[in-house]
């Protein structure tokens, strides 16, 4: 099984034309959040419709820059990862959308206690899975993938604590555009693919005995 994961689309999905073959060949696409720019259902539907033209198998969640009605839309489509878990070919995938609190009062922000609650809600549905992929839109605090340009860490402490306690195989995040990268946190491999228009995505493959993943870049056309 091959999974492609990316996020922070912000209604700009033109780079998808440059990775048409990769999108069509994947068994699943995961969108980690921020489909829109402070917009709602109509704009989110346009994004989802665009990607389902390439691949019908999509899971997604809203980010902090999406209105709450985006969460309702994804629930209606039965593809939501926020506070939810999906079992696909022995792999458990669960997530939490929005973000921890920011100075900018973006449309969808949660307290750390709320983030923890949403994570456990999704985890409960997949906890017996042999392999686990965690999808927190906000990256874990104190890592390479949650640093803004001045070097300040702005990620979620609840996400970090959850990863260290439950040890998912892979965690894919977004939110901090300038922090594209990867590192290990405990036994978990972390990824932030950056903004989608810059060509970043994560490729995850399920092999016979493990999951392997790498951060990849598609040059803009």
Question: CA 174, CA 189: separation in Å to the nearest integer?
Answer: 14
Q: What percent of the chain has pLDDT over 90?
A: 96
Residue 27, Cβ neighbours under 10 Å: how many? 15
Beta bridge partners of 137: none
CATH number of this structure's domain 2-217, picked from the four choices 1.10.10.10, 3.30.200.20, 3.60.21.10, 3.40.50.720: 3.60.21.10
Question: CA 137, CA 8: separation in Å to the nearest integer?
Answer: 9
Average pLDDT over residues 10-33: 96
Q: What percent of the chain has pLDDT over 70?
A: 99
Q: What phi and psi values does residue 159 have, to the nearest 5 degrees? A: -65, -45
One DSSP character per residue, 105-131 reads: --SSEE-HHHHHHHHHHHHHHHTT-SE
Split at pLDDT 50, 70, 90, the class of 115 is: very high
**Has residue 91 got a pLDDT over 60?**
yes
Counted residue by residue, the chain has a size of 221
pLDDT in tens, 161-218: 999 999 999 999 999 999 999 999 999 999 999 999 999 999 999 998 899 999 999 9
> Over the range 60-77, which residues count as b (16 or more CB within 10 Å of their CB) and which as e?
bbbbbbbbeebbebbeee
One DSSP character per residue, 143-167 reads: SGGGB-TTS-B-SBHHHHHHHHHH-
- Antiparallel, parallel or unpaired: β 28-31 and 211-217: unpaired
- Cα–Cα distances in angstroms (integers) from residue 117 to residues 60, 113, 150, in the given order: 19, 6, 31
- Cα–Cα distances in angstroms (integers) from residue 57 to residues 26, 92, 176, in the given order: 9, 15, 26
Split at pLDDT 50, 70, 90, the class of 220 is: low
Where do runs of H (alpha helix) occur along the chain?
Answer: 20-25, 41-54, 68-77, 112-126, 157-166
The whole-chain average pLDDT of the chain stands at: 97
Split at pLDDT 50, 70, 90, the class of 83 is: very high
CA angle, 163 then 169 then 170, to 5°:
80
pLDDT in tens, 154-168: 999 999 999 999 999
Question: CA 180, CA 174: separation in Å to the nearest integer?
Answer: 8
Average pLDDT over residues 43-67: 98
**Has residue 221 got a pLDDT over 60?**
no
Question: CA 220, CA 176: separation in Å to the nearest integer?
Answer: 20
């Amino acid at each position: 099984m091959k999974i492609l994961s990316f996020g922070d689309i912000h209604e700009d999905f033109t780079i998808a034309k440059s990775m048409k073959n990769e999108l069509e060949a994947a068994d699943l696409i995961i969108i980690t959040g921020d489909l829109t720019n402070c917009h709602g259902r109509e704009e989110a539907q346009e994004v989802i419709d665009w990607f389902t033209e390439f691949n019908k198998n999509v899971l997604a969640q809203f980010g902090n820059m999406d209105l709450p009605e985006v969460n309702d839309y994804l629930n209606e489509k039965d593809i939501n990862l926020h506070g939810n878990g999906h079992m696909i070919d022995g792999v458990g995938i669960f997530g939490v959308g929005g973000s921890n609190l920011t100075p900018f009062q973006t449309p969808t922000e949660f307290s750390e206690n709320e983030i923890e609650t949403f994570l456990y809600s999704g985890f409960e549905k997949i906890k017996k899975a042999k392999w686990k992929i965690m999808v927190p839109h906000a990256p874990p605090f104190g890592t390479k993938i949650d640093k803004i340009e001045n070097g300040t860490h702005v990620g979620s402490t609840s996400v970090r604590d959850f990863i260290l306690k439950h040890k998912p195989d892979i965690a894919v995040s977004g939110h901090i555009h300038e922090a594209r990268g990867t590192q290990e946190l405990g036994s978990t491999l972390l990824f932030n693919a950056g903004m989608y228009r810059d060509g970043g995505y994560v490729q995850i493959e399920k092999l016979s005995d493990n999951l392997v993943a790498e951060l990849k870049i598609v040059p803009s056309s």
